[in-house]
């Protein structure tokens, strides 16, 4: 527990510092984190990052990750990021034929799904921070909501947890912890908004907090399902007491595309 707290505090200070600085440093750090998360996911499936499949997976993820202005090269001026990705999918499917199914359709599906999961999640984090108006505040609010959710779910679940939330996926999580985490997120979100208001409507703010908290917890369950499927305890060992990068950012990268989809950022 002590190691977990120390790592959490140091990690939070480091991340918040990079978020505050923003700019190229933030982009570089997020790109590094996304690459490590992808590496961890490849390891779960026992794929060597230096292999053909590992390299293709990384490239797919980077295409989805990079900021949109980076794709505005002269030879790409008439296509969107999505169109580039779709063409890459077609080439990937063609590869299953060229390799005579040594590179299988299932492996192609893994590359596509994992690159979308990691790439778009971190991409939307980059895009949110780069917003000219309230980008920094939005990222801080989202991080505080997710951290409050994690802490509330852990402590409330440990103290009052009686009813299992989803035992087949994550045996330790409880319904009481789920409710406690959401309640903690609402409290922290309201306090944050009092000092740094980003929404004109309290109803919109409340909806934002609940969506972030609830779907953040769902994102945590998604990663738990992945780990259970691949029979691993943690995604990695980079963060003592916490596991890997994917273990720490699973909620964030799951909820970021949803918040963008719901147009919370204007």
- Residue 203 maps to a domain: yes
Other C-beta atoms lying within 10 Å of the C-beta of residue 6: 12
> Residue 112: inside a domain, yes or no?
yes
Does 75 map to a domain? yes
Mean local confidence (pLDDT), 176-199: 95
> Which residues are paired to 239 by β-bridges?
243
Q: Please state the domain count of the chain.
A: 1
Least confident of 82-86, 130-134, 155-159, 211-215: 82-86
pLDDT band at 2; cut points 50, 70, 90: low
* pLDDT value, residue 116: 92
Q: Mean pLDDT throughout 122-130?
A: 94
pLDDT of residue 1: 63
What is the pLDDT averaged over residues 96-107? 85
CA distance 118 to 127: 14
Q: What is the mean pLDDT of residues 229-247?
A: 79
Q: Which residue has the higher pLDDT, 132 or 7?
A: 132
Q: Is residue 266 part of a domain?
A: no
Quick: pLDDT tens for 35-90.
999 999 998 888 888 888 888 899 999 989 987 666 555 555 677 777 888 888 99
Kindly indicate the confidence band of residue 266, based on its pLDDT and cuts at 50, 70 and 90.
Answer: low
Residue 41 lies in a domain: yes
Q: Supply the range of the domain harboring residue 147.
A: 2-261
pLDDT class of 4 with cuts at 50, 70, 90: low
Position 161 scores a pLDDT of: 82
User: Quick one: CA dihedral 44, 47, 48, 53, positive or negative?
Assistant: negative
Which of 50, 49, 78, 80 has its CA nearest to residue 63?
A: 80
pLDDT confidence of residue 73: 57
Q: What is the DSSP string of 239-255?
A: BTTTB-HHHHHHHHHHH
Q: ∠161-162-164 over CA atoms, to 5°?
A: 90
């Amino acid at each position: 527990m002590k190691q977990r707290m120390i790592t959490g505090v140091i990690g939070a200070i480091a991340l918040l510092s990079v978020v505050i600085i923003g700019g190229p440093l933030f982009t570089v750090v997020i790109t590094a984190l996304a690459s490590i998360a992808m590496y961890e996911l490849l390891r779960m499936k026992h794929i060597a990052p230096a292999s053909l499949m590992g390299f293709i997976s990384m490239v797919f993820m980077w295409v989805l990750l990079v900021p949109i202005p980076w794709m505005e090269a002269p030879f790409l001026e008439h296509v969107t990021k999505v169109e580039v990705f779709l063409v890459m999918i077609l080439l990937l499917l063609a590869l299953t034929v060229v390799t005579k199914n040594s590179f299988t359709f299932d492996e192609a599906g893994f590359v596509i799904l994992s690159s979308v999961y990691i790439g778009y999640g971190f991409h939307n984090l980059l895009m949110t921070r780069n917003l000219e108006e309230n980008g920094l505040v939005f990222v801080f609010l989202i991080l505080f909501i997710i951290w409050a959710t994690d802490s509330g779910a852990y402590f409330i679940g440990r103290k009052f947890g009686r009813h299992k939330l989803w035992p087949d996926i994550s045996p330790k999580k409880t319904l009481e912890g789920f409710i406690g985490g959401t309640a903690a997120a609402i409290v922290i979100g309201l306090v944050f908004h009092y000092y740094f208001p980003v929404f004109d409507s309290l109803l919109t703010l409340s909806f934002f907090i609940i969506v972030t908290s609830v779907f953040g917890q769902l994102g945590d369950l998604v990663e738990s399902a992945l780990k259970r499927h691949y029979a691993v305890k943690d995604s990695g060992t980079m963060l003592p007491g916490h596991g890997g990068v994917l273990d720490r950012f699973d909620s964030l990268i799951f909820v970021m595309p949803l918040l963008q989809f719901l147009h919370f950022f204007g």
